[in-house]
Chains A and B, each alone.
Chain A
């Protein structure tokens, strides 16, 4: 009985294999760093929907579950599957050159997606190497610029009157590239505008987690409540956690108790907070643009066309060599409608 069940299981799994490769469309293997990530999930769905509607390229995808070792296994599986394109949402940032090297040996077209760029040398080394990603530093700059605007137009924003912008910086993970550039460029934008800054509470690592951010901001408020002028958060979830803690600490009761909180991602709940007036700004890294840009690069290559800004023809997307850059969009109360995107729309 048990053997029969096992047999059935194996047979049904084997039966799935030809189903995946049923038609002759070239196959793209897509490896995402984490399916549980909202942004990744949206980009993934967009890519799947676009490919299914178009039919030029078939997509199979895999989840690295935020683990570099799993990513390596996924890469090997994709090569074994004989994919023509390999899209890698890489988390093994130290191994970029080796990964490019392997891709070259396997003869696949490599597309790094939403991740650190391979070096110029890597690009010289392999002609079928591409990058599709957002300009990560823009997300930090947008937070900083929004705060500069608020600071210069609201003298009362300096709550303790020390002439410095006293801020809390909610970090995701200190080793995470997005955290690093968002923390760096947001403050840099303030300092470039001539504002002296002062970080409060040291490295506040809330792991991109709303509950954690809420707890940590509550603790910081209890100690530094009178000094904090601004809260920067490296994602919306942490910004929203901070807003909850600030509300409990007496902020956001009226116009006088407003305090600027900045986030990144423009999630649905994040945009709601922007609309409600609690979040000052959030930056949108459009997952639909990412999914479609990835597909369009493969589609152009498949049709023998060159990849450049004109052929790609997407608003806010620029091509430099084999690097495809997607711009962030700053979302405030004034342009909330720009935060909307539709992952079910398969046009590209």
Chain B
């Protein structure tokens, strides 16, 4: 009897957030039954897609025991880069004097720029020994400033970028068999990152660097290399997310991605990542992002002011982390 009770308590505390989410869905659904529809599920998945990809980037960083504040602004910069390379030939304020390019070019360029930002972060953290919080804060500012300068380049003059090719915007707003293409991107990335983290030597090394960098070093792992790779991969994820964000909204400007890094960190934490490194999973991150987007979508859906979203999101983070802390203290 005693053990059974203990188990229920365990289950409750392990899955408390999911219970909260299910409760929220039930409450919203009872206010408007239309909430239980394929369309709503599709919208939520679609709106979560780019955020999932950003959070996956963040996951690498958190597992390796680091922090990254540059994610949101990198999404903004890469959205502008991708958008600027996806414009129609006859668009009248064309960013670059280039012919029409296939959609792979803007995506590749965005990922490349993201990767470069990530490597700069990684180098600053692991070689120059700047604390990750400050290194990525610094690069975040550089990235944002660069984006402002870039957007202000004549003839664009800080106007939002537009006139994207249909085959590019389709990546963000098109469907295959009723499922948004952008969702395939997110799910594909989830599978790739999951395999990379759980089935490869690199994945194991990232976990061991995050659990105990010193022990990892002693056991022969090249910590510098691992940190460069995690920041690089994170940057590449931000780049992909940036390109898809431009495709999804059909535009891009320097304000894109603002605050995404905090959403990503929050989603990872709610999804069970530890701020001290060495713990985290793709499925947790996936659910973490979905929880926040159910809140965003659900509260708008029933016509509640979005200012409430801040309150609810903040409380969810506090609940998540406090449950996490209780788990650790009861283990002691």
A interface residues (Cβ-Cβ under 8 A, vs B)? 35-38, 41-42, 45, 174, 200-206, 209-211, 214-216, 218-220, 222-223, 237, 240-241, 244, 247-248, 267-269, 272, 343-344
Contact = CB atoms under 8 A, between A and B. Distances in A.
A40 to B, nearest CB: 8
A45 B158 CA distance: 10
22 contacts: A38-B158, A38-B159, A41-B157, A174-B307, A204-B300, A205-B307, A210-B249, A211-B249, A211-B256, A215-B43, A215-B300, A216-B306, A218-B43, A218-B47, A219-B43, A220-B303, A222-B43, A223-B32, A223-B35, A223-B301, A223-B302, A223-B303
Contacts of B302: 223
B297 interface: yes
Contacts of B256: 211
Interface of A is mostly: helix
Interface string B242-264: 00010011110111100000000
B242 to A, nearest CB: 12
B278 interface: no
A267 B39 contact: no
Interface string B286-315: 000000000011101111111100000000
Interface residues of B, number: 41
A292 to B, nearest CB: 16
A209 B253 CA distance: 10
B162 A216 contact: no
A248 B25 CA distance: 23
B330 interface: no
B307 to A, nearest CB: 6
A269 B300 contact: no
B131 interface: no
Contact of B251 (A45, A210, A247): A210
Contacts of B160: 38, 210, 237, 267-269
A35 B148 contact: yes
B145 to A, nearest CB: 10
Given A38-B253, A222-B301, A269 B307 contact: no
Contacts of B300: 201, 204, 215-216, 219-220
Nearest to B162: A269
Given A38-B160, A268-B159, A268-B160, 19 more contacts: A36-B148, A37-B158, A200-B303, A202-B303, A203-B307, A204-B300, A205-B307, A210-B160, A210-B249, A211-B245, A215-B47, A219-B300, A222-B35, A223-B32, A223-B302, A223-B303, A247-B173, A248-B173, A268-B92
Contacts of A45: 157
Nearest to A268: B159
The 5 A-B pairs at the shortest CB distance, nearest first, are namely A269-B162, A41-B158, A202-B303, A219-B300, A203-B305
Contacts of A174: 307
Contacts of A223: 32, 34-35, 301-303
B50 to A, nearest CB: 9
B279 interface: no
- Tell which of A38, A42, A272 has the most Cβ of chain B within 10 Å: A38
A237 B251 CA distance: 9
A215 B297 contact: yes
A333 B152 CA distance: 27
A222 B39 contact: yes
B200 interface: no
A160 to B, nearest CB: 15
B321 interface: no
A35 B92 CA distance: 24
Interface string B1-18: 000000000000000000
Contacts of A218: 43, 47, 297
Nearest to A45: B157
B47 A272 contact: no
B152 A41 contact: yes
Contacts of B305: 202-203, 205
A218 B305 CA distance: 15
Contacts of A202: 303-305
B97 interface: no
- Tell which of A36, A42, A214, A247 has the most Cβ of chain B within 10 Å: A36
Contacts of B161: 269
A204 B304 CA distance: 8
Contacts of A205: 305-307
B284 interface: no
A219 B28 CA distance: 12
Contacts of B162: 268-269, 272
Contacts of B120: none
A344 B157 CA distance: 10
A137 B215 CA distance: 65
Interface in B89-104: 92-93
